[in-house]
């Protein structure tokens, strides 16, 4: 039903703007809130994508008043905003910025928050709608959720919506994620829970769905008849920075394999959704995640590594065990490479190689489909020595785009064939001005659009894949690799044993 005569489905110029609402951020003083959330809120305001009535509430332990908080928020937003800074936009936003101070275990503070929110319903005209962003250490989730339950803040009614945004990690293994999901879903209802996997907010990841399902060219070869193997790589050149305490407990597999890489795998391998709705896309992703299999012999198909000191980009960098806050005998992995199968008719027999690591030569995330060799080549062996497998590569970041690698004749009077790459590149500026992942996802939360958010069953299915790996690795020592190399030699041997090799991204 169209409730607003000015809305016209043919009118694609008018943006989707959320209903009047409040955004409540727990942990507003934290790293994520300052670097991502506040700038994203400003950018949304600057693009005219915030509702007519909007309030931002920050909750933290410091004793600030609204003005002091607004000042901090302004600096943070200004520092990392993507759109040009316009003071008047911020001033307008600042009129709706409020601060509530208190600790998570303090009942009075939450009563004050509930009170403040209630006041704003009338005075700011937000009409009771609110999204709560848990930008806090995961250990604090239960206490905050229980406080929201106690004060009734989490209840959606026909008159108002209440939503919650949860950041990764969603637990540390299957049992803990079940527990967390059960808690979040009981305090809020499952439809009101938004789990952020910021990879899904990236343009190129969404473009993967367009590439696959809007074209006829790729789908016929998108299966085990034509695809030899799939490689998904997420490489970072940075180390662990100041996150030692978190990383020591977590490791590469739990940090990024469980969420980002498995989501990329799901989008690559999933069947066509019935339609482009949140429900249907999640259904197809879930089927893939549940179809993932691990080889019986993990010793030959799961490798983990840890960086040692080395040189990266012309600078000496310390090894993982020398990083501040890391145990000198740490067994946490900073690199993981695994071979999965996807047990469906489409993918039976096709290995999916996933790898993620820190202190690798460069920052790059990509999905590569490596195609079968031609069954017969009418050229002589020497003509095609330099011909490799055809590849289709989705470059997720940086240099967002698509590469197609195929054989082509070397110009000249003899027949020689070698590989060339054809690149589709989104312009640098295109990606600069396109919204940051957090901006897009925050907008979707306020609009109630869950298409780009994994649901609890996806998270659980992902842990079900990771848990056996963690169990297998428990107690073992990761293979060392030098910072600035593409991971430990064991990872190369893992592919070599199957007659393949890693693509150098």
Partner 1 sequence: MAAAVTTLWDTNGTAVVKELAAQRRTGGAVLSGVALTLVVVADESRVEEAEEAAAHAAEMHPCRLLVVVRRQLDSPAPRLDAEVTIGGRLGPGEAVVMRMYGRLGLHAESVVLPLLAADAPVVAWWHAPPPERLATDALAVIADRRITDSSMGPDPVAALRTRAADYAPGDTDLAWTRSTPWRAALTSTVDSVAGRRGEAVRLLGGVVEGDPRRASARLLAGWLSARCDCAVDVVDSDRAAGPGGVDTVVLRLDRDEEVRVRADRRAGALITQPHRPDATVALPDRPLGDLLGEELRRLDPDEPYSEALAAATGVTGLAGRPAVREHEWFDPFQREDA
Which of the residues are catalytic? 260
Is residue 381 a contact residue for partner 1 (CB under 8 A)?
no
- Does 102 interact with partner 1 (rule: CB under 8 A)? no
Q: Is the Cβ of residue 5 or residue 139 nearer to partner 1 in the bound state? A: 5
Assigned token pair, 304:
């983990």
| Residue 118 binding partner 1, by CB under 8 A | no
Please write down the HEC assignment for all residues of 98-160: EEEECCCCCHHHHHHHHHHHHHHHHHCCCCCCEEEEECCCHHHHHHHHHHHHHHCCCCCECCE
Q: What is the 3-state secondary structure (H, E, C) of 457-485?
A: HHHHHHHHHHHHHHHHHCCCCCEEEECCC
Contact pattern for ligand NAP over residues 94 through 113, marking x by CB under 6 A: ---------xx---------
Among 8, 31, 65, 423, binds ligand NAP (CB under 6 A): 31
User: Could you tell which of partner 1, ligand NAP, none binds residue 324, using a CB distance below 5 to 8 A set by kind?
Assistant: none
Question: How many other β-carbons are positioned within 10 Å of the β-carbon of residue 114?
Answer: 17
Residue 31: name its binding partner from ligand NAP, partner 1, none (Cβ under 5 to 8 Å by kind).
Answer: ligand NAP
CA distances to 231, 260, 331, 338, 501 from 264, rounded to whole Å, are 11, 6, 27, 14, 20
Strand partners, 302: 338
Between CA 232 and CA 328 the distance in angstroms is 31
Give me the least distance between CB of 105 and partner 1, in Å please: 34
Residue (165 or 494) nearer to ligand NAP, CB = 165
The C-alpha torsion from 459 through 460 and 466 to 470, rounded to 10°, is 120
504 binds, among ligand NAP, partner 1, none (CB under 5 to 8 A by kind): none
Q: Which does 167 bind (CB under 5 to 8 A by kind): partner 1, ligand NAP, none?
A: ligand NAP
Give the nearest distance from C-beta 384 to partner 1 in angstroms: 26
Closer by beta carbon to partner 1, 7 or else 345: 7
Among 46, 45, 28, CA closest to 37: 28
Q: List the x/- string, 159-198, binding to ligand NAP by CB under 6 A.
A: --------xxx-----------------------------
CA distance 264 to 267: 5
Q: Quick check: 393 and 405 in contact, CB under 8 A?
A: yes
Instruction: List residues bridging with 403 in a β-sheet.
Output: 393, 423
Nearest to ligand NAP by Cβ — which residue? 30
Cβ 334 vs Cβ 307: under 8 Å = yes
Please check whether residue 222 is in contact with residue 211, taking contact to mean a CB–CB distance below 8 angstroms: no
Candidate ranges 137-145, 178-186, 252-260, 439-447; the one touching ligand NAP (CB under 6 A)? 137-145
Does the footprint of ligand NAP cover residue 30 (CB under 6 A)? Answer: yes
- Residue 427 touches partner 1, criterion: CB under 8 A: yes
Nearer to partner 1, 21 or 286 (CB): 21
Other CB atoms within 10 A of residue 404 CB: 13
* Structure tokens belonging to residue 98: 């409020």
Residue 204 binding partner 1, by CB under 8 A: no
Region of 286 (left: φ > 0; alpha: ψ -120 to 50; beta: rest) is: alpha
Query: d(Cα 443, Cα 258) in Å, to the nearest integer?
Result: 25
Question: With contacts defined by CB under 8 A, how many residues of the chain interact with partner 1?
Answer: 49
Establish if 397 lies at the interface with ligand NAP (CB under 6 A).
Answer: no
Residue 217 contacts partner 1 per CB under 8 A: no
Pairing of strands 335-342, 352-357: antiparallel
Choosing from 130, 136, 337, 338, the residue that interacts with ligand NAP (CB under 6 A) is 136
Closest CB to partner 1 among 52 and 103?
52
Question: Of 121-129, 215-223, 469-477, 488-496, which part binds partner 1 (CB under 8 A)?
Answer: 121-129
Alpha carbon 77 to chain centroid, angstroms: 22
Binding-site member from 65, 374, 424, 498 for partner 1 (CB under 8 A): 424
Binding mask of the shown chain, residues 468 to 497, with x at each position contacting ligand NAP by CB under 6 A:
------------------------------
Applying CB under 8 A, which part among 7-15, 225-233, 361-369, 437-445 lies near partner 1?
7-15
Give the residues lining the site for partner 1 (CB under 8 A): 1-8, 10-15, 17, 19-20, 45-48, 50-54, 86, 88-89, 92, 95, 122-125, 127, 158-159, 401, 423-430, 432-433
Q: In the complex, which residues of this chain contact ligand NAP (CB under 6 A)? A: 27-33, 60-62, 103-104, 135-138, 140, 167-169
């Amino acid at each position: 039903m169209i409730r607003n005569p000015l809305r016209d489905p043919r009118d694609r110029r008018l943006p989707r703007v959320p209903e009047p609402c409040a955004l409540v951020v727990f942990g507003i003083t934290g790293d994520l809130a300052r670097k991502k959330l506040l700038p994203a809120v400003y950018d949304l305001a600057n693009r005219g994508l915030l509702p007519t009535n909007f309030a931002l509430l920050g909750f933290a332990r410091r004793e600030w008043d609204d003005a002091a908080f607004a000042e901090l928020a302004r600096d943070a937003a200004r520092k990392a905003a993507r759109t040009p800074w316009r003071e008047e936009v911020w001033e307008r936003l600042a009129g709706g910025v409020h601060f509530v101070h208190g600790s998570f275990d303090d009942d009075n503070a939450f009563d004050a928050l509930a009170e403040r929110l209630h006041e704003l319903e009338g005075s700011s005209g937000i009409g009771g709608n609110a999204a709560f962003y848990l930008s806090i250490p995961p250990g604090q989730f239960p206490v905050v959720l229980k406080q929201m339950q106690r004060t009734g803040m989490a209840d959606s009614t026909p008159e108002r919506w209440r939503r919650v945004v949860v950041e990764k990690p969603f637990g540390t293994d299957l049992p803990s994620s079940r527990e967390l999901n059960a808690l979040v879903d009981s305090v809020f209802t499952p439809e009101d829970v938004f789990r952020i996997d910021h990879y899904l907010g990236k343009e190129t990841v969404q473009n993967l769905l367009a590439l696959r399902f809007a074209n006829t060219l790729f789908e016929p070869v998108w299966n085990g008849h034509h695809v030899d193997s799939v490689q998904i790589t997420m490489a970072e050149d940075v180390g662990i920075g100041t996150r030692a305490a978190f990383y020591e407990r977590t490791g590469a597999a739990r940090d990024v394999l469980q969420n980002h890489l498995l989501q990329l795998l799901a989008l690559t391998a999933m069947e066509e959704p019935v339609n482009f709705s949140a429900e249907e896309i999640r259904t197809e992703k879930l089927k893939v995640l549940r179809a993932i299999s691990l080889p019986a012999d993990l010793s030959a198909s799961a490798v983990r590594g840890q960086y040692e000191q080395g040189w990266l980009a012309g600078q000496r960098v310390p090894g993982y065990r020398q990083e501040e806050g890391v145990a000198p005998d740490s067994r946490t992995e900073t690199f993981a490479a695994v071979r999965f199968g996807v047990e469906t008719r489409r993918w039976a027999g096709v290995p999916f190689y996933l790898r993620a690591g820190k202190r690798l030569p460069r920052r790059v995330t990509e999905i590569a489909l490596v195609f079968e060799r031609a069954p017969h080549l009418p050229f002589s062996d020497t003509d095609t020595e330099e011909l490799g497998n055809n590849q289709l590569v989705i470059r997720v970041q940086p240099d967002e785009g698509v590469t197609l690698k195929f054989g082509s004749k070397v110009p000249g009077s003899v027949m020689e064939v070698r590989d060339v790459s054809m690149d589709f590149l989104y312009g640098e500026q295109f990606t600069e001005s396109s919204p940051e992942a957090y901006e897009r996802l925050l907008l979707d939360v306020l609009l109630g659009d869950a298409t780009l958010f994994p649901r609890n069953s996806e998270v659980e299915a992902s842990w079900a894949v990771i848990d056996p790996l963690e169990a297998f690795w428990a107690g073992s020592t990761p293979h060392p690799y030098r910072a600035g190399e593409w991971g430990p030699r064991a990872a190369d041997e893992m592919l070599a044993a199957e007659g393949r090799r890693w693509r150098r991204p």
